[in-house]
């Protein structure tokens, strides 16, 4: 993107202005800093697209940095999953870093704050700290340990570092202002004791920095120019700036030495935090705590359940990464919180798959249909296009015999007004074949329709004199003798209300789980779909878009997941 391009959002305006003024020599360096305590979800994709997109469009760089300062909730499984998700979404990082790479830097910065009288060791318990903090309308009270001498604070903090004290007995707090209108500035904790093994550093550290403290220093160390955060961090920005002002990393060689010791090539700088509204979608929840509960309580089939709003779940569902990028591009970036309709995302998926997915025929609710005026051993091969709108997809051979499978929903024994498919004595066009008439309905002993006996009007076949004869309905089919059986998972939205988090009626998000969000059927598909590659996506004509499951699909046991229906059934149900 050139400097003269019209900005599409307020963040791009800021970056354009900074580059125009020569601020930071015109450099653009962003970062995506997830905490590895769960799998990424669709809301995170907005931040990924924004941070990596800004870096790409302004010829800058973007780091992937793991905010691993809370070892009790973090796991290497999540680290690997986050890496895979970012890469799948289509982005590459300039550097992969971890906040834990800078633990020594954070520690030295804390020593500097203590030495300058700007931090103190506090013995108040967590409950006592809350009681001393005050409220939005009442100022807080100073901790009775706030006036400890610099020497005592240094001694206590170094003993904390040595592991001398038990968890929760002491914290290191910044000394700012207990009467500040912004509660985040009321002497916030910047270190706590937590004797827990860390995935990267093992048992080397019995103390860990708090996020607000570690995040801004990490940004400064890495030379981040624009630190893009979601809106809930707006009230934390004064603390972000306070820490940077007091530590002043670029101006202190002794701190810079620890940066070099961490194996970094960056020149420390002063980053700017900018907040934007997070990405919210209706008909879903994106709280990590709630998503974890869904997994742990067996309400879904894991983090990659195709109904989950996780990126790994979206991938297994068959959502193309390009559709997710397009969705967040269309949603835009602002400072106004809003909820976007899930149907908008589904439409982005439909738009992309309509252009990219080859067509095949499949039947998910099968009913046998026999053409009685064809020989029992009748067999022929037909020529069908792989994509009706794009000749470059080529063509395929489709086998046809006297017995086919059709959708049970394409037959109605007792006709109703507006139903233009097959009825007793009625006619319909069999896709690519010709017009058939239903002459006989065969039922089981229980009264279930198990077979239709029909005749094919040979004069309506392609190239015949009656090929142009009109009937109102056309239905698809699959050759019963060559079709493959497959497991087809019909996925839908996980929740059946737009706001599952709304508990005003006494219900929780669990009460709104959609019982029809997953239905497994035995389907019949065109034979060549057995050879479909895992994660390949197809349109099953008249049914929707389907993907070969990335884990379970095989030639011996084909498994396909429904990505989306061809049309938005939820909007129709809501009368939109």
403-433 pLDDT, tens digit per residue, is 999 999 999 999 899 899 999 999 999 999 9
Q: Is the pLDDT of residue 569 over 90?
A: no
83, 118, 278, 421: which one is catalytic? 278
Of 169, 151, 149, give the one whose Cα is nearest residue 160.
Answer: 169
298 is in an annotated binding site: no
d(CA 479, CA 382): 11
Is 288 annotated in the active site?
A: yes
Which residues lie closer than 8 Å to 478 by C-beta, 6 or more apart? 361, 362, 363, 404, 405, 524, 525, 526
Would you state the pLDDT for residue 4? 43
pLDDT of residue 462: 87
CATH 3.40.50.620 in the chain is located at 10-276
* pLDDT value of position 7: 47
Residue 325 to residue 56: CA distance in whole angstroms: 14
Which pair of tokens denotes residue 302?
Answer: 């894991």
Res. 548 pLDDT band, cuts 50 70 90: very high
Output the CA torsion sign for 87, 93, 98, 99: negative
CB-count exposure of residue 135 (10 Å: 0-12, 13-18, 19+): exposed
Residue 1 predicted with pLDDT over 60: no
Cβ count within 10 A of residue 409 = 12
Residue 559 is predicted with a pLDDT of 98
Q: How many whole angstroms separate alpha carbon 372 and alpha carbon 457? A: 11
pLDDT above 90 coverage of the chain, percent: 89
- Please give the span between the terminal C-alpha atoms of the chain, in angstroms, as a whole number: 38
Q: Does residue 493 have a pLDDT over 60?
A: yes
Tell me whether residue 198 is annotated as binding: no
| pLDDT of res. 255 | 72
29 annotated to bind ligand: no
Is the separation of the CB atoms in 221 and 268 below 8 Å?
Answer: yes
114 pLDDT more than 60? yes
Mean pLDDT to the nearest integer, 296-321:
97
Lowest mean pLDDT among 260-264, 268-272, 363-367, 371-375: 260-264
CATH architecture for residues 366-474? Beta Barrel (2.40)
252 is in an annotated binding site: no
230 is in an annotated binding site: yes
CATH code of the region 10-276: 3.40.50.620
In whole angstroms, how large is the CA radius of gyration of the chain?
Answer: 31
**Three-state secondary structure of 175-239:** CCCCCCCCHHHCCCEEEEECCCCECCCECCCCEEECHHHHHHHHHHHCCCCEEEEEHHHHHHHHH
**pLDDT, average across residues 332-345:** 94
Would the pLDDT of 149 be above 70?
A: yes
Which residue among 23, 270, 288, 368 is the active-site one? 288
Known binding residue 37? Answer is yes
Which residue among 23, 27, 35, 461 is the active-site one?
35
Report whether 288 belongs to an annotated binding site. yes
406: closest CA among 564, 541, 225, 239? 541
Confidence of residue 568 (pLDDT cuts 50, 70, 90): confident
Model confidence at 6, pLDDT cuts 50, 70, 90, reads very low
- pLDDT mean across residues, the chain: 94
Query: Is residue 541 flagged as an active site residue?
Result: no
Pairing of strands 379-385, 474-475: unpaired
Whether residue 496 contacts residue 514, with contact meaning beta carbons closer than 8 Å, is answered with yes
How many helices (H) and strands (E) are present in the chain, helices listed first? 14, 25
C-beta separation of 494 from 476 below 8 A: no
Query: What whole-number distance in Å separates Cα of residue 230 and Cα of residue 23?
Result: 23
Residue 44 annotated as binding?
yes
pLDDT interval class at 558 (50, 70, 90): very high
**pLDDT tens digits for 167-188?**
999 999 999 999 999 999 999 9
Task: Supply the pLDDT for residue 466.
Answer: 87
278 included as an active-site residue:
yes
Q: Which pLDDT tens digit goes with each residue over 254-303?
A: 676 666 666 665 667 789 999 999 999 999 999 999 999 999 999 999 99
Q: What is the pLDDT of residue 346?
A: 97
pLDDT score of 264:
60
User: Given pLDDT bands bounded at 50, 70 and 90, which one contains residue 3?
Assistant: very low
CB 84 within 8 A of CB 366: no
Over residues 430-478, the pLDDT tens digits come to 999 999 999 999 999 999 999 999 999 999 998 898 889 999 999 999 9
Please name the residues in contact with 138: beta carbons below 8 A apart, sequence gap of 6 or more.
none
Are β-strands 403-407 and 478-479 bridged in parallel, bridged antiparallel, or unpaired?
antiparallel
Q: What homologous superfamily does CATH list for 288-359+487-573?
A: Ribosomal Protein L25; Chain P (2.40.240.10)
* 132 marked among binding-site residues: no
pLDDT the model gives residue 574: 62
2 marked as part of a ligand binding site:
no
Smallest CA-to-CA distance from 525 within 536, 514, 517, 512 is with 536
Structure token digits, residue 472: 């109102």
pTM above 0.85, yes or no: yes
Q: Which residue has the tokens 């793991």?
A: 66
Please report the DSSP string for 411-463 in residue order. B-SS--TT--SB-TT-EEEETTTEEEEEEEEEE-TTS-EEEEEEEE-GGGSTT
- CATH 2.40.240.10 placement within the chain: 288-359+487-573, 366-474
- Known binding residue 118? Answer is no
> CA-CA distances (angstroms) from residue 353 to 336, 403, 545, 547?
31, 31, 7, 11
Instruction: Please check the confidence at residue 502 and state whether its pLDDT lies above 80.
Output: yes
H or E segment and range at residue 65? strand 61-66
């Amino acid at each position: 993107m050139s400097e003269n391009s019209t900005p599409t959002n307020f963040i791009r305006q800021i970056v354009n202005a900074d580059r125009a003024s020569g601020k930071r020599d015109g450099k653009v360096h962003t970062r995506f800093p997830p905490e590895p305590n769960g799998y990424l979800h669709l809301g995170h994709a907005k931040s990924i697209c924004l941070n990596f997109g800004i870096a790409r469009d302004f010829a800058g760089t973007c780091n992937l940095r793991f905010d691993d300062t809370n070892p009790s909730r973090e796991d290497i499984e999540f680290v690997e999953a986050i890496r895979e998700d970012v890469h799948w979404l289509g982005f590459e990082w300039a550097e992969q870093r971890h906040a834990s790479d800078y633990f020594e830097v954070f520690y030295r910065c804390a020593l500097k704050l203590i030495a300058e009288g700007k931090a103190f060791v506090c013995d108040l318990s967590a409950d006592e700290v809350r009681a001393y903090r005050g409220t939005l309308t009442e100022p807080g009270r100073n901790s009775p340990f706030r006036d400890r001498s610099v020497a005592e604070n240094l001694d206590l903090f170094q003993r904390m570092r040595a592991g001398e004290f038990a968890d929760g007995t002491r914290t290191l707090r910044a000394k700012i202002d207990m009467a500040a209108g912004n509660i985040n500035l009321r002497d916030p904790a910047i270190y706590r004791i937590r004797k827990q093994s860390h995935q990267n550093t093992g048992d080397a550290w019995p103390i860990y920095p708090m996020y607000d403290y570690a995040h801004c220093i990490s940004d400064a160390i890495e030379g981040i120019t624009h630190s893009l955060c979601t809106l809930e961090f707006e009230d934390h920005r004064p603390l972000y700036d306070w820490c940077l002002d007091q530590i002043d990393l670029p101006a202190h060689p002794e701190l810079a030495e620890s940066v070099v010791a961490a194996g970094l090539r960056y020149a420390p700088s002063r980053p700017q935090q900018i907040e934007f509204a997070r990405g919210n979608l209706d008909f879903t929840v994106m709280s990590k705590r709630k998503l974890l509960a869904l997994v742990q309580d067996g309400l879904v089939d894991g983090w990659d359940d195709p109904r989950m709003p996780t990126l790994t779940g979206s991938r297994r569902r068959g959502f193309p990464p390009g559709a997710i990028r397009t969705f967040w591009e269309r949603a835009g970036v602002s400072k106004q919180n809003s909820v976007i309709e899930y149907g908008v995302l589904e439409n982005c998926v439909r738009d992309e798959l309509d252009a990219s997915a080859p067509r095949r025929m499949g039947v998910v609710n099968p009913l046998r249909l026999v053409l009685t005026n064809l020989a029992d051993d009748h067999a022929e091969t037909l020529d069908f296009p792989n994509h009706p709108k794009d000749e470059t997809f080529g063509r395929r051979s489709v086998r046809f015999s006297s017995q086919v499978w059709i959708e049970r929903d394409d037959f109605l024994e007792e006709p109703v007004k507006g139903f233009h498919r097959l009825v007793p004595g009625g006619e319909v066009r069999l896709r690519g074949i010709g017009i058939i008439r239903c002459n006989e309905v065969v039922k089981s002993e229980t009264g279930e329709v198990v077979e239709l006996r029909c005749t094919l009007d040979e004069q309506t076949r392609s190239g015949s004199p009656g090929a142009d004869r009109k009937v109102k309905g056309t239905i698809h089919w699959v050759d019963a003798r060559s079709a493959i059986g497959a497991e087809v998972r019909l996925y839908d939205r996980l929740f059946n209300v737009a706001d599952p988090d709304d508990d005003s009626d006494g219900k929780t998000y669990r009460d709104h789980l959609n019982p029809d969000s997953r239905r497994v059927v035995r389907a019949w598909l065109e034979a060549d779909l057995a050879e479909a590659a895992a994660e390949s996506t197809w349109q099953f004509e008249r049914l929707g878009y389907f993907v070969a499951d990335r884990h379970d699909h095989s030639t011996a046991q084909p498994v396909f997941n429904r990505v989306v229906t061809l049309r938005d059934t939820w909007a129709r149900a809501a009368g939109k």
